[in-house]
Structure 1
Amino acid sequence: MKTYFSFLLIFVFKICPAQTTYLDKVTKTTKKTYTYKKTKEYKLKLDFYKPRKLKGEVPLVIYVHGGGFSGGKRNDKNTINFATNLAERGYAVASISYRLTMQKLGFGCATNFKDKINAFNFASEDISYAVKFILDNKKKFNIDSKKIILVGTSAGAEAILNLVYVYNNKILARNFKFAGVISMAGAIVSTENITLKNAIPTQLFHGTKDKLVPYNIAPHHYCNKKDKGYLMLYGSKAISEKLNSLKKPFYLYTIKDGDHSWSGRPMQECTEEIIDFLYYDVLKNNKRQISFIKKSET
């Protein structure tokens, strides 16, 4: 009987290796909706996904959806699956709504470039208020204020990159710094403001044939110089090159011949790469510089 019991323990151990929090799925989750900003003109909400069984403060992922600053939702099926996946591994996740300031203006070449920049800044402002709301209720949400990571797709990626590397933030504390940022088909108006002081671990997903947001350096939507919406943008390749020159960590995931659909596909198809980045580059601070090229299958 003892021999059988010992063998059983060994067998179970071999087929059920120890699970690692933040790498493996270790808990069930709950979701609750909060209003984080309310004015006479608008009400902004967030969905908070909480890992149930973990004790102590946990890292927080802020997710910002895409949609050209005129559409998109914080709670579509893809987002719910993505947020739940992260929360099951131990991360708290807040998927936020923000002002869709381009609903009546559009976001193409006929839209004034100043309105595009304002859209970046208004979204960055709203994200900041969402973070402040959670920090002001830190005990309630039980998050680690030094481990807040931004994730965004398309317009959301532009907003978070703008927030980290361009936006003059007067909402959050002066000494506040995000722990990491994950951009899916995002870009910024300049890389000049990326410095040794503000650079943080940055993961970038981008298709080389994205016709809306440039992979490297090109005008937004590839507008002509005479267009009102002509705005030079610096995409994932340019951002990674700047971080490389500063010897700062980055994880560039290039999809060769990939289009703008890769603004959302990493949430389904690259979760292991995202989890790897969050664990090793953000939480463990391994300071890696990774460039990976994938051939697009579609």
Structure 2
Amino acid sequence: MIFTETTVDIDQSYNPAATKDEKKAYLFDLYQPKGDDARHRPLIIWMHGGGFKFGSKDAKGVALWSKTFAQRGYVCANINYRLSKKNPLFHFDELVKSSYYAVQDVKIAVEYFKHNAARYGIDPDKIVLAGNSAGGMIALQAAYSSNEELAKLAGLSNDTAAINKPQERVKVAAVINFWGAIYNLDWLKNVQVPIVSVLGSNDGVVPPTHKSAPLYGGEDIHAKADSLGIPNELKVFEGYSHELQKHFNPVFPVGEDTEKRWLQAGQFAADFLYNTLFK
């Protein structure tokens, strides 16, 4: 069923215990189909891109996908997460540390929505993690890596969360990975979580395949998931770069053609979820 209208509740908090200085990092916007009285709807938690340094839940892409998925009957939560105060874009160790802390935030979000499933009319067993770029990376690490594995890679083995819950992973129904990457392909062996990936063939920010740093893009993930029997699909936009732009530039506004590709990516992901989880 397609809903013509949606509702949006902005600036809600998924971590009421957050300190005053951190409150903004734990805000979310909730998109729902207007007039839908179902009580067990699937939830998609969307995470924005920005290299773990920039961006917010108001990003154009996640807002677009949240609205269109809400029209398909999903509940969608665009979440903020803690951003780095350093420079993860040019320092790999900071990139991994930022990923680790963002993953801890997503775990808080998942627990919040599971605890409040009745309040939001969602099915706690049908929570999907989704994101673009850094957001896709967070979704991947949260679903497939353990606290211990990610903390070790980040050099944070003394972190309280990793020590107390070393094998903890987020239990989710699926992952939507838009031009993100995973740090270790072997982490896919940990769980059989379905995954759908979309990327541009000319992406130089998050390459489709492994090049130098331990970072494995959508093409690598697709091949590994196939070998492990994990339900997955991959869509490649030939000739396009990061964020499905012709020439990626985070400074310039996104044009209509790029938005159309984003909508195509969303439709591809929606078809995958329907055929994998609901058909």
TM-score per shorter chain, which class?
0.7 to 0.9
- 2:170 and 2:53 map into 1 onto residues whose CA distance is 29
Equivalent of 1:234, from 209, 216, 219? 216
| Identical amino acids, percent of aligned pairs | 31
Distance 1:202-1:276 versus aligned 2 partners, 3 A rule: same
Tell me how far 1:106 sits from its aligned partner.
4.4
Contact 2:88 2:95 (C-alpha < 8 Å) held by counterparts: no
Matched, 1:148 2:127: yes
Specify the code of the residue in structure 1 equivalent to 2:185: T
Tell me how far 1:256 sits from its aligned partner.
2.4
Contact 2:46 2:129 (C-alpha < 8 Å) held by counterparts: yes
Matched, 1:36 2:14: yes
Tell me how far 1:269 sits from its aligned partner.
3.1
Equivalent of 2:198, from 201, 205, 219? 205
- 1:235 and 1:97 map into 2 onto residues whose CA distance is 23
Q: Does 185-194 or 32-41 show the bigger shift?
A: 32-41
Tell me how far 1:73 sits from its aligned partner.
1.9
Contact 1:151 1:183 (C-alpha < 8 Å) held by counterparts: yes
Which structure has the highest helix share of the two? 2
Partner of residue 272, structure 1: 267
Matched, 1:122 2:101: yes
Distance 1:145-1:119 versus aligned 2 partners, 3 A rule: same
- 1:176 and 1:278 map into 2 onto residues whose CA distance is 18
Which structure has the highest strand share of the two? 1
Unaligned residue ranges in structure 2 (runs of 5+): 149-160, 246-257
Partner of residue 13, structure 1: none
Partner of residue 82, structure 1: 65
Specify the code of the residue in structure 2 equivalent to 1:207: G
Equivalent of 1:183, from 172, 177, 182? 177
Contact 1:181 1:203 (C-alpha < 8 Å) held by counterparts: yes
Q: TM-score w.r.t. structure 1 length?
A: 0.75
Tell me how far 1:192 sits from its aligned partner.
0.8
Partner of residue 86, structure 2: 104
Q: Does 158-167 or 77-86 show the bigger shift?
A: 77-86
Contact 1:30 1:49 (C-alpha < 8 Å) held by counterparts: yes
Q: Does 55-64 or 44-53 show the bigger shift?
A: 44-53
Q: Which has the larger radius of gyration?
A: 1
Partner of residue 222, structure 1: none
Aligned-partner SS, 1:270: helix
Distance 1:106-1:244 versus aligned 2 partners, 3 A rule: closer
Contact 2:110 2:170 (C-alpha < 8 Å) held by counterparts: no
Specify the code of the residue in structure 2 equivalent to 1:150: L
Contact 1:28 1:53 (C-alpha < 8 Å) held by counterparts: no
User: How many residue pairs align between the two structures?
Assistant: 244
Tell me how far 1:250 sits from its aligned partner.
0.8
Q: TM-score w.r.t. structure 2 length?
A: 0.80
Partner of residue 55, structure 2: 72
Specify the code of the residue in structure 2 equivalent to 1:29: T
The two structures, once aligned, show a CA RMSD in angstroms of: 2.2
- 2:204 and 2:192 map into 1 onto residues whose CA distance is 27
Specify the code of the residue in structure 2 equivalent to 1:214: P
